Amino acid sequence: MKWEENARKIVPYVPGEQPDVPGMIKLNTNECPYPPAPGVQEAIWAMQSRDLRLYPDPDARVLVEGLADYYGLKKEQVFVGVGSDDVLSMAFLTFFNGDKPILFPDVTYSFYDVWADLYRIPYETCGLDEEFHIRPQDYKRPNAGVIFPNPNAPTGVYEPLELVEEILEANRDVVVILDEAYIDFGGKSALPLIHKYGNLLVVQTFSKSRAMAGMRIGFAMGDEKLIKYLSDAKFSFNSYTMNRPTLALGVEALKDKAYFEEITGRIVITRERVKGELKKLGFTFPDSLTNFIFATHERIPGAQIFRALRERNIYVRHWDKPRISDYLRITVGTDEEMDTLLSFLKEYIQ
pLDDT at 144: 98
| pLDDT confidence band for 300 (50 / 70 / 90) | very high
pTM, full prediction: 0.96
pLDDT at 68: 98
The C-alpha angle with vertex 143 and arms to 130 and 102, in degrees rounded to 5, equals 70
pLDDT at 287: 97
pLDDT in tens, 130-177: 999 999 999 999 999 999 999 999 999 999 999 999 999 999 999 999
Mean pLDDT taken over the chain? 96
pLDDT at 13 over 90: no
pLDDT at 237: 86
| pLDDT confidence band for 283 (50 / 70 / 90) | very high
| pLDDT confidence band for 89 (50 / 70 / 90) | very high
Find residue 80's DSSP bridge partners: 219
pLDDT at 16 over 90: no
pLDDT at 160: 98
Q: Which residues contact 24 (CB under 8 A, 6 or more apart)?
A: 313, 314, 315
pLDDT in tens, 23-68: 999 999 999 999 999 999 999 999 888 888 999 999 999 999 999 9
pLDDT in tens, 195-254: 999 999 999 999 999 999 999 999 999 999 999 999 999 999 888 889 999 999 999 999
pLDDT in tens, 90-126: 999 999 999 999 999 999 999 999 999 999 999 999 9
pLDDT at 20: 87
pLDDT at 1: 81
pLDDT at 335: 98
| pLDDT confidence band for 293 (50 / 70 / 90) | very high
pLDDT at 86: 97
pLDDT at 2: 86
pLDDT at 5: 86
Q: Does 349 or 50 have the greater pLDDT score? A: 349
